Amino acid sequence: MYVTLLRVYFAHQPTLVLEEPYFYLEEQDRRQFKRILDDLSKQIQILILTSNLEDAMISCDSIYRLNESGFHLLDIRDSEEDKQSVQEQDRANITLQKIYTKKNDKVILFNPPEIDYIESMDGSVLVHVGGESFICALTLTELEQKLFNFGFFRCHRSYIVNLQKVREIITWTKNSYSLRLNTGQDAIVPLSRSKLQELKTHLNI
């Protein structure tokens, strides 16, 4: 088969017709032969005659099936599109969210429930977990969008809090509030007056 291809190639024919080109080839030879056909197809037109659908699918962009009523284009796009649709649906059903941070040149990933709160300080976004802080490259707005479905709340323009960690709403004055967190340490984050009612709605109080 290789010799046949060489003869046709040097003959400079515009069309190459091959009958069962993969029939006697082992797997490694099939792969090599496929690469040769791909290169040739850039220069000449190739027609492959085969009774093996797999051989046709790995070699041709368009596949025609011959039966009693003539040639019919075999539509393989539907099955590929269905497969892609199923894959996209499966991905849509998967909820996987990791928040990536850095500390000491290490990339550290956190599950949302692990996070106590997030703050913006001096142009940096810090993710607080168990009394430690980790730098995050995302903005507060991006983190707010990512974590909304995990029970996080933008309690202040510079803070996002995990509502599962909120222990107490502290009223300092008529217009000053804070949130005390149940984190094993005395963590307190500010609560904007404009966010108070929204927080109560979230907590059903």
pLDDT digits (tens, 9 = 90+) for 95-133: 557 898 988 888 999 999 999 999 998 889 999 998 899
Q: Which residue intervals of the chain bear CATH 2.40.50.1020?
A: 99-203
* Tokens 């607080």, located at residue: 128
pLDDT per position as a tens digit, 45-103:
888 888 776 677 767 777 787 777 677 776 544 434 444 554 555 555 445 578 989 88
pTM of the model: 0.53
- φ/ψ of 30, rounded to 5, equals -60, -45
- Among 155, 158, 153, 143, smallest CA distance to 195 is for 155
Q: Judge whether residue 9 has pLDDT over 50.
A: yes
Q: Which two tokens stand for residue 102?
A: 């850095």
Task: Tell me the three state secondary structure of residue 112.
Answer: helix
Q: How far is CA 105 from CA 87, 96, 109, 129, in A?
A: 35, 24, 13, 18
CB 181 within 8 A of CB 189: yes
- Among 129, 125, 136, 131, smallest CA distance to 101 is for 136
| pLDDT reported for residue 153 | 94
Q: Which CATH architecture best describes the domain 99-203?
A: Beta Barrel (2.40)
Pick the CATH number of 2-92 from 1.10.3720.10, 3.40.50.1970, 3.40.50.300, 3.50.50.60: 3.40.50.300
CA–CA distance, 22 with 152 (Å, rounded to integer): 59
Which strand ranges, in their side-by-side order, compose the sheet holding 176-182?
Answer: 166-173, 176-182, 186-191
Helix (H) or strand (E) holding 96: none
Q: Which residue intervals of the chain bear CATH 3.40.50.300?
A: 2-92
